[in-house]
Chains A and B, each alone.
Chain A
Amino acid sequence: MGIFPEQFADIEAVGAPWALASYNDRQAKRHASTMAELETFYETVFPRSQEVLAYCNSFDIDDWPDEVKALMNMLYSLVLVSFAVEVWKQPRVPDTGAASFEAFDEPAV
């Protein structure tokens, strides 16, 4: 039994490890990944992202089931990783060796 609904079972192996509930965890995973790993995630998930979002939109936001939460968390990771892939062409923001941000208050989902 996966954490994604059946129609997204094909992206689960790559996508599910990125279904992390906090910005701090998603950012840590991004920084711990190689560019090849980030590209694999982006290239696997991005083509399905509209479909994933449409699926999530069919649920009431105040009542998201766990599978929707997991898909949304994966999409939040996609946003984060897209900067590495689309803009910076490297895992970190350039010239930010010392800077690290910590989220201290964020929406529950």
Chain B
Amino acid sequence: MKVERPKKPDIGSWTEQYPHLGTADVDYTDSVCPEFYERERDAIFRKAWIHVGRVEELPRVGSYFTKEYKVCDTSIIVARGQDKKIRAFHNICSHRGNKLVWEEFPNDETRGTTRVFQCKYHSWQYNLDGTLKQATREEEFFNFDRCRYGLAEISCDVWEGFIFINLDPTPEQTLKEFLGEMGEGLIDYPFHEMTQAYCFRAHIKSNWKVFADSFAEAYHTPYMHGKMSPEMAEDMVMADGIAFKMMGMHNTTSFRHVPSDIEQATPIEQLTQCGLYGPWKKPDLGGNLTPPGQNLSNHPDWGIDSHQIFPNFAIIIWERGWYHTWQFWPLNVDEHIFECRQYFVPPKNASERLAQEMATITTREYAAQDANTLEATHSMLKARIKTHLPLCDQELALRNLHYHVNEWVNGRRPGAVAAE
């Protein structure tokens, strides 16, 4: 079957609505050049607000988790204090620099609940608000002033239950300003009701942007994932974005729901009552299910929105009442850790639990195809035989990401402009 062609803007394309992005081939040197990566580390990853987790991961006073932030050679503790406030700190002991919180393997992330953070080396103890509680054998030190040796705090703020950090001690923009129209557009969506999390990650041998690119367009879907969606493979336009909106460095793209995913269900889809778009039965959700930033064109067949938050995070909201996030954690110019978290309303019975399992496995099966192809892409981009690559109208979100990465690397970020 064929679907109706999405109506493009009068100017002729989605892309040409944003003249600053141009339509020229895009220089992909930014994904393979070690010097460019070095500049990204300071200009982007030490300046932008970066998502690190959900408030539900810190349910009570003393809950904490650690986040490896290799792109800036640090590790971060995120903790809920006695006053319930969520704070972030560099995971470094003030005495002789030992990593403060870790279990078994220093490079593995960890989580838990505690009253104090105690260093494994000489047992200095820190309160949940980062102040030094106690230095062991304090009298052996010289003019010791406990106030001087708290943990190094990191700017931290919360938007709709998503915790963000900023390595800049005095961020040029608040988180609200940074998220701007994108943040406003999703206010009151019931993220906090979807607390059943299924998370997976992979070490990927590609530049972080190469993977972000692959999830930012659906042009590849009928081809790479054709076996999982025979209908799309029949009518390539079905995968197309039905609306695109660039909001500075962030963007939203809306996609349709494939019409007959239930009628053409496979045996396992019938058993689990779940398909490519998630569990067939929608959960009861409160909050605002149709915030202004969602289903941009109010399309009757709306199925998915991809909300890309600069630089390395995306929230994908499904019409069926669940969402997932992608995140790309750079390790070096050629490698990153890819992380996917899928969130559902807690299941009420075995059938609902099984439907969620099906949804998460479906995502993993197709993401495995994406992930492996990336290594093939990145390895050849490195040859620098093809440096300027043509991006079509369906690839607008990629064009936007590479444009803004270059803007930031060249010092042209929104906060910096305002500060001048």
- The residues of A with any CB-CB pair to B shorter than 8 Å are 23, 46, 49-50, 53, 56-57, 59, 61, 68, 72, 75-76, 78-80, 82-83, 86-88, 93-107, 109
Contact = CB atoms under 8 A, between A and B. Distances in A.
Contacts, number: 102
Given A79-B272, A98-B372, A105 B228 contact: no
Contact of B201 (A61, A82, A86, A102): A102
22 contacts: A46-B267, A49-B271, A53-B271, A53-B350, A57-B349, A61-B348, A61-B353, A68-B350, A75-B354, A78-B271, A79-B272, A79-B357, A83-B365, A93-B368, A95-B369, A95-B372, A97-B372, A102-B200, A102-B202, A103-B199, A104-B200, A106-B197
Given A79-B272, A106-B197, A107-B198, 11 more contacts: A53-B351, A57-B350, A57-B351, A72-B354, A75-B357, A78-B268, A78-B271, A86-B267, A87-B365, A94-B227, A99-B371
A101 B365 CA distance: 10
A71 B335 CA distance: 39
Contacts of A78: 268, 271
Contacts of B198: 103, 105-107
Q: Rank and list the top 3 A-B pairs by shortest CB-CB distance, nearest first.
A: A56-B350, A82-B268, A105-B199
B271 A96 contact: no
Contacts of A72: 350, 353-354
Nearest to A81: B268
Given A79-B268, A106-B198, A88 B227 contact: yes
Interface of B: 109, 196-202, 204-205, 227-228, 266-268, 271-272, 341, 347-351, 353-354, 357-358, 361, 364-365, 367-369, 371-373, 375
Nearest to B228: A87
A75 B350 CA distance: 10
B140 to A, nearest CB: 41
A82 to B, nearest CB: 4
A104 B200 CA distance: 5
B350 A101 contact: no
Contact of A87 (B109, B266, B272, B348): B266
A11 B66 CA distance: 43
B64 to A, nearest CB: 15
Contacts of B361: 79-80, 83
Contact of A99 (B199, B349, B372): B372
B360 to A, nearest CB: 8
Among A72, A82, A83, A100: residue with most chain B CB under 10 A: A83
Contacts of A99: 202, 204, 368, 371-372, 375
A96 B391 CA distance: 25
Contacts of A76: 354, 357
Contact of A86 (B266, B350, B357): B266
Contacts of B354: 53, 72, 75-76, 79
A93 B365 contact: yes
A86 B264 CA distance: 13
B350 A98 contact: no
A7 B202 CA distance: 40
Contacts of A53: 271, 350-351, 354
Nearest to B359: A79
A78 B354 CA distance: 10
Contact of A82 (B200, B267, B349): B267
A107 B353 CA distance: 10
B326 to A, nearest CB: 13
Contacts of A93: 365, 368-369
A105 B354 CA distance: 17
B375 A98 contact: yes
A101 B227 contact: no
A97 B308 CA distance: 28
B403 to A, nearest CB: 29
Contacts of B199: 103-106
A56 B200 CA distance: 26
A93 B369 CA distance: 7
Contacts of B357: 75-76, 79
Nearest to A26: B361
Contacts of A57: 349-351
